[in-house]
Chains A and B, each alone.
Chain A
Amino acid sequence: MADAAPARGGFRGGFGSRGGARGGRGGRGRGRGRGRGRGGKEDSKEWVPVTKLGRLVKDGKIRTLEEIYLYSLPIKEYEIIDFFLNRLLKDEVLKIMPVQKQTRAGQRTRFKAFVAIGDSNGHIGLGVKCSKEVATAIRGAIILAKLSVVPVRRGYWGNKIGRPHTVPCKVSGKCGSVLVRLIPAPRGTGIVSAPVPKKLLQMAGIDDCYTTTRGSTTTLGNFAKATYAAIAKTYAFLTPDLWKDLPLNKTPYQEFADFLDKTSKSGQRIIEM
């Protein structure tokens, strides 16, 4: 670039140089036509993973979403959920409400959005986001809902005819003093529960269920956690159809890491906890 010549006598600049002496851009270009300055669209950009789990998912090394749940690896990128469940997920806005805070300069209004997301086939998530703008709150809540997706296992009340429609067995979740119990129900019962868990269970694909709760359910947070724990436990319960021994797989991290480094000098073995 001509204007770079006087500054460094023709040498290319590196990082941190201003005034056009930057290396790489002028002469070689990026060759990608990225639409800079034309208002680049965000949705058309391909996902570049930032966490290790994201990289494993993008490479296709993890086949189903259930594998992640089985090993309880943290999901920090919502694109991971999109990768497995994209078209099947339906989001539903449960409530949008303005919340106001009194400041010295008057009132500050923000909007709180509650969004539930589910595929009616065993996955459910709930997200809450507060933001200055309605659209931002909804978008943020959808992302948080995706990050909080849990698997829900369904089974039968009686005869194994048709698709599973209820919880596989009585499961209870406890948090604090609150105990929430989900009980299988015959077809046609519907969900007998408070409005919010009813919505969640519906979106998870459970058609019939009895619920019973005990403890001070008005304790903020505990009731929610207990219901969540109960739903999450549906996968943890070992029922006869799961008695066939599943071989112990290595966690995705270990499977793709070389723990026994053969060139270890002093013969030290690194023992994984």
Chain B
Amino acid sequence: METTSVDLGFLEPCEPWLLTNKFFRSKVGGKPAWLELKNLPKPEELLCGQCNEPLGFLCQVYAPIEEKNNSFHRTLYVFVCFTAACNQSPTQDAKTMKVLRSQLPRQNAFYEYDPPDETTESPAVKSPVQLCVVCGCRGPKLCSRCKAVNYCSAAHQRLDWKATHKSICSEEGTISSSNPEDATNSLLLPQFEIVTEAEEYEPKAKLSEEENAKRQMEELARLQRKGKAGALADLPEAELDKYSADQVEDKTFDKFKARIAADPDQVLRYERGGKPLWLSPIVPKAVPPCVRCNGPRVYEFQIMPQLLNSLNNDRLDWGTLVCYTCEASCDIEGYVEEFIFRQDVLNTDTARQGVGQ
């Protein structure tokens, strides 16, 4: 097995305090651990383009670029819409998913110059901006009664009211301040860390033409002697071919399955500047250029469908989510939107169309 240039991501359980912003981890679920803490995205920027509901946080990938000083710390955040309809049949150009990029130099206003101590529990770096207690995004709105709890939108306020806040809200302020970090609700996915390993993949050994042919003919002769070479071996090929005309091979999907077979539980594939592992022949026509610097975008990573097995959410569904980012990783203040493309599994099942009708 040799290692390729692809990094794979796997899910591992982790203590919640290690997954906060100052430890710079890649993670799935929970609330986003923001990198740049002042210019957080506004709630209007994180709405689904199809149903206008607030997007839910899916995962964040810590992917610094070592050659540049300004991207010593660099994280990409992926948000998806949790509505069932947006996952079943997303319209072609609707933005039901968003990916944001944030980066900081090593010397910055929020974190220490030196790495943090990872052996003892310590609280996260607090943001100067108020955060929504439900989803962890910027929360400009307040509960109108107690004025002590922040929300990002009316939808989340309604959710929290029914869940916990109704019993503790009063005009003097919230009676008991339950630790907001412990809040688990239907909008937050189960939290995991994403650990990296290099991909190990063994490409098929290539033999020369004659060598291969000779070996295989011997193999065939061996099977024929054993009597395993075919019950209908006397029939002409055309006769048998008729019965397989129905067969539809999805070659792209087969190649996808073959490539992931060595590590079937991978949830993320990372190769900046490389080529994504496509799941179906439908690929984006043109990747739009970066919104800030107008430079080209390159493929960076893709999220695999195996992630859905661990999320316990029946509504989310995708084939693979492919993310493209600015090639130059241009300098930004805060968060900039990058391009994400969703590929669904192609339905090639003609053999079964007609049954049950």
Contact = CB atoms under 8 A, between A and B. Distances in A.
Interface of A: 7-17, 21-25, 28, 30-31, 36-37, 39-40, 42, 45-52, 55, 58, 69-72, 74-77, 92-99, 105-109, 111-112, 114, 126-128, 132-135, 144, 148, 150-151, 194-197, 199-200, 220-225, 227-229, 232-233, 235-236, 253, 256-259, 261, 263-265, 268, 270
Interface string B268-286: 1011100000000000000
Contacts of A58: 309
B353 A72 contact: yes
B153 to A, nearest CB: 9
Given A30-B197, A72-B355, A16 B265 contact: no
A224 B7 contact: no
Interface in B118-167: 154-155, 158-159
- List 6 tightest A-B contacts by C-beta distance, closest first: A221-B245, A24-B195, A14-B62, A74-B349, A128-B244, A95-B230
A225 B351 CA distance: 8
Given A14-B61, A55-B308, A23 B243 contact: no
Given A30-B197, A106-B209, A15 B61 contact: yes
Sorting the interface of chain B by its residue count into under 10, 10 to 19, 20 to 34 or 35 or more gives 35 or more
Contacts of B225: none
B68 interface: no
Interface of B: 1, 7, 9-10, 12, 24-26, 51-53, 61-66, 72, 74-75, 83-85, 88, 106, 113-115, 154-155, 158-159, 193-198, 200, 209-210, 212-213, 216-217, 219-220, 223, 228-233, 235, 237-247, 249-250, 253, 256-257, 260-262, 264-265, 268, 270-272, 301, 304-306, 308-309, 314-315, 317, 319, 345, 347-349, 351-357
A23 B196 contact: yes
A196 B242 contact: yes
B196 A22 contact: yes
Contacts of B9: 15
Given A30-B197, A128-B240, A263-B159, A45 B230 contact: no
A233 B352 CA distance: 11
A30 B355 contact: no
Contacts of B53: 261, 263-265
A51 B279 CA distance: 11
6 contacts: A7-B66, A16-B270, A94-B232, A109-B213, A148-B246, A228-B351
Contacts of A222: 242, 245
